[in-house]
Amino acid sequence: MDRNKYIKAAAIALIVAAILSLVVTIGLFEHFSETSGINLVFMLLIPVAIAFNLFAAYKIYTGNLKFIKYVLWLYIAQIVGFETSEWAFSLLLGFSLHISWSIDTVSITINLFALLMSVLLLKSMRSAIKAQCSL
Specify the number of domains making up the chain: 1
Annotate 24-56 with b (16+ C-beta within 10 A) or e (fewer). bbeebeeeeeeeeeeeeeebeebeebbebbbeb
User: The pTM is what?
Assistant: 0.73
2 pLDDT more than 70: no
Q: Return the closest-CA partner of residue 47 out of 23, 71, 11.
A: 23
Domain that holds residue 114: 5-133
Q: How confident is the model at residue 42 (pLDDT cuts 50, 70, 90)?
A: low
**Cα–Cα dist 106/102, whole Å:** 6
Q: Return the closest-CA partner of residue 8 out of 133, 135, 121, 132.
A: 121
Kindly report the average pLDDT of the chain as a whole number.
Answer: 80
